[in-house]
Every structure is written in structure tokens, then in C-alpha cells.
Amino acid sequence: MRYLDHLYHWPVIRRNQWRKPDELAAMQARALRRLIAHAYAKVPYYHDLFDSSGVVPGQIAALDDLRSLPILTKDIILANYPDRIIASDVDWTECSARMTSGSSGKKLDVVLDHSVAALYRLMQLRQLIDVGYKPWDKIAYVRFSPPVTNIMLQKVNLFRRFFVPLEWEPERQAIEIFRIRPQVINAYPSVLYLLAKTIGKDDGALLGLKFLLSNSELLTAHVREYLEDVFQCKVYDDYSCLEFSAIAFECRMQNLHVAADNVIVEVLDDDGRRLPPGVPGRIVVTSLNNYSMPYIRYEIGDVGALSDKACPCGRSFPLLEAIVGRCDDFLVMPSGEFIDPQTVVFQIETIPEVKEFRVVQQEDQSLVVSIVPERTVEFRKIREEIGVKLNVLFNDALRVDVIETRALDRGPTGKHRSIVSRTSHQGRAGPGF
């Protein structure tokens, strides 16, 4: 699919989200059957896996049949890349390989053919259009690298995208954003939060933004509320990653819909059993469109919960009730109990004098809390307030050291992890269940 084919595929992409539930289920089942047959015929890893597991591809005819297949992990992909996990008939001249951020500690090469990459862009455009974006609007991306594609329509001032380097200080980013005067800003929640603190409510409203787009990090209720107050517009989040692109996206009601024409999402307990709606567990995703490098029941490393509620927007795409955090971001108590990262984050991010922070649980379970304070505050007061809050939360069971720092390392992609646990989670009950 080339750019000239977008007009042909666009109506289908738009219509999928409004299909009746039974039509959507039938569409997913057909896509799944095609994917399974292709993986068995063309991908050595899956051919051997199905044979060794006693799975006949033709028996995977519906979503419930996925349960008979083992979970795919990053370690399995790394062990089989590229010869055994890439389709044998892949045309490398029609593909591109991209590397994940490595925020989990393991970087992966992800292979996409150009037609799937174009499909993913259409799915991203679907969310934009549905929350108010117009083709003549300007979007400012705050990131380490510029948006990767240029299209002819940008030469006539349509689909214009502007790049603001993430490595710049927030003050310089703010100056550039006021120069661009975009209608939309797309950035990580932590980057938007620093921008909001730098710009302030009076100037934030002057930008006249239509909305903000956040992605790739956990968007907490406090940060959403703060951003919407400063910029006087809504924040729309999406749940995506390089392996799948669109997993879920927020509608105008700010409910998170699974992109059911792109993925199948399961939520499992530690024994691999599916959990009912509202119960958090390990998120496992199957890609329905990437035939070059199929991801079937891939454990993405996040914890979340599905919902059985219907959204007032009328979409049939199912809802994700919550993304709680990454599996390895849960803090471990001496009792073995897990504390979800949002509970910890809330204790600190609501302190106005804190500009940025990171909580690291060391191997001995102690906590080191690194704080970048606002410029004109006395750090001793911040340290005392955080110490009291966390000691109450943990019932004095964990040692807490609060330290001041001038900056936090964001790594090669700029993603910010507020909570990092270096304590082993092996042999313990899974977080949240």
C-alpha cells in the first residue's frame, strides 16, 4: 500500500470502529485464521512451535482457541531473530527494521513491510481525526528524532508536522512552540508536564491548542488534570509501541479503545489464565496485520485490565479499563506484596515544588528517590514531606533515601520512567493478582 492507496483504504479503517460487535468478532476471527496459517507455513519458529505443542493451525478458528498457544516473550524473539522469526518469503526491499526503545532492558529489532507501516499511519490518523484534528492543522512533536516520513501534501500545507528536540531545555522548547503556533502538541506525558510547568496557565491558554496527545509513558490522573488546566484543552492518550503501533487509543470521551482491527488483547494471570474484565493482569497482544514478523500472544511487559462497559461514543472497539504500569515497575514489600507504581507516583507528583522525580527500588528493597526541585524551594522541606508520605504508605517497612539532583537521565529515546524496581520479581505472586 503506497500513499496513493490511502484514499482506498481510509474508508475501511474509519468504518471498522463502528462495526456491530458480531461483525467485529467475525472480522478478527478471519484475520486470526489467516495469520496463523501464514505463520505456520512461512515462519520456522511458529512451524516448530505448533508441531511440538500438538497444535493444528486449522484448529485456531476463533479468539478462544488462542489459549492453546504458548506465550511469546522478548527472550524468545531475541533467540530466534532473524532467521527463525522472520517470514521466509519476506521481501527485504519492501521492509524496514526498527529498534525498540529498550525501556524493559532488552532492545528488539522490529521488521515491518511498507504496506503495514502505511496501515499503522492510517490508524494513527483515525484517532487524530476523531478527536478534532483537521488536515491543515499543525502538529508539534517533541522528541529526539524528527517524524520519519514526508509526503507530497505537506508541500501544500496539509498534514504539517514540526519537530522540537526533546533534549532541549523546557524553556527553549516553549519558545519554539510559541514560534510554531501548533494546534496540537504530541509528546510523552512527562515532557508535556515540564512544558506546562514552564509555560504556566496564562501563557498556556494563549497557545489556543485544540488538544494534546500523550503516548509511551503512563499518563496519571494528576498529570492529565494539570495539563488540561494549564493549556485549557483536552489530553488524549494512546497505548502503542513499536511492535504493534496502535494497541489502544482514546476517543473524545477519553476512554481507551482497543484497536481491534489491528490487535487482539488478552489479560492473563500468572498461570496464563484469562482474567475477567476489571481485574488487572499481564497484557498479551497478538498482531493481526504484520506478516513479516508475526507477534502471536506476545507478552508486552505491562499490567492492565480490560473493561466490559460500553462507551457513550458508540464504538464497538472494546475498552481497556486501565494501564497500571510495567510488570517490573511494581515495588516489592518485604512481605512479598506488590505496590503498583501509580500509588507511589501520586505521593510525589502532587507536590508542587517537585519538578521531576524517579523512585528506584534497589536489590535490597530499599528506595532511592531522586528529585529535581523547582529552583526557588528549600530541598529539606521536600525531602521531609516525601519521607513522611512514603513511610506512611509503606508502614516504615522500606528504607527511603531522598536525594536532590539537577537532571534525570532519560536514556536514548527520552522516555521517562518514574518508578524502577531492581528487586527480583521471580518466584513471587504477580502484581495485582
In a domain, 432, yes or no: no
pTM surpassing 0.85? Answer: yes
Please give the share of the chain, as a percent, with pLDDT higher than 70.
Answer: 94
* Residue type at position 199: I
Same domain assignment for residues 349 and 406? yes
Same domain assignment for residues 50 and 82? yes
The rounded distance, in Å, linking the Cα atoms of 271 and 275 is 10
In a domain, 208, yes or no: yes
Same domain assignment for residues 340 and 317? no
In a domain, 201, yes or no: yes
- Per DSSP bridges, beta strands 138-143 and 184-187 are parallel
* 26 or 431, which is more confident: 26
The CATH number given to whatever domain includes residue 417 is 3.30.300.30
3-state secondary structure of 201: helix
Same domain assignment for residues 99 and 187? no
The CATH number given to whatever domain includes residue 231 is 3.40.50.980
Same domain assignment for residues 41 and 109? yes
Residue that is last in its domain, among 240, 260, 278: 240
| Residue 3 confidence class, pLDDT cut points 50, 70, 90 | low
In a domain, 43, yes or no: yes
Residue that is last in its domain, among 327, 355, 376: 327
Residue 280's domain comprises 3-118+251-327
Q: How many domains does the chain have?
A: 3
Mean of the pLDDT values across residues 338-343?
91
Is the pLDDT reported for residue 433 higher than 60?
Answer: no
In which residue are the cell numbers 499481564 written? 282
Same domain assignment for residues 104 and 17? yes
Mean of the pLDDT values across residues 313-318?
97
In a domain, 22, yes or no: yes
Is the pLDDT reported for residue 265 higher than 60?
Answer: yes
The rounded distance, in Å, linking the Cα atoms of 411 and 291 is 31
Same domain assignment for residues 177 and 103? no
In a domain, 399, yes or no: yes
Q: Count Cβ neighbours within 10 Å for each residue of 229-266 and write b for 16 or more, e otherwise.
A: ebbebbbbbbbbbbbbbbbbbbbeeebbbbbbbbbbbb
- Cβ 307 vs Cβ 321: under 8 Å: yes
Write down the pLDDT at residue 8.
78
In a domain, 302, yes or no: yes
- Cβ 180 vs Cβ 134: under 8 Å: no
| Residue 155 confidence class, pLDDT cut points 50, 70, 90 | confident
Write down the pLDDT at residue 1.
46
Same domain assignment for residues 319 and 347? no
3-state secondary structure of 86: coil
Q: What are 102-139's pLDDT values in tens digits?
A: 555 567 889 999 889 889 999 999 999 999 999 999 99
In a domain, 245, yes or no: no
Same domain assignment for residues 199 and 282? no
Mean of the pLDDT values across residues 354-372?
96
The CATH number given to whatever domain includes residue 318 is 3.40.50.12780
Residue that is last in its domain, among 211, 240, 269: 240
CA distances in angstroms from 265 to 43, 253, 274, 275, 386, listed in the order given: 22, 21, 11, 12, 37
Which of 148, 149, 234, 223 is CA-nearest to residue 191? 223
Same domain assignment for residues 318 and 339? no
Is the pLDDT reported for residue 258 higher than 60?
Answer: yes
CA distances in angstroms from 363 to 333, 396, 397, 432, listed in the order given: 12, 18, 15, 21
Mean of the pLDDT values across residues 146-160?
72
* 291 or 63, which is more confident: 291
- Cβ 222 vs Cβ 418: under 8 Å: no
- Cβ 87 vs Cβ 294: under 8 Å: yes
Is the pLDDT reported for residue 86 higher than 80?
Answer: yes
Q: What are 191-245's pLDDT values in tens digits?
A: 999 999 999 999 999 999 999 999 989 999 999 999 999 999 999 999 998 899 9
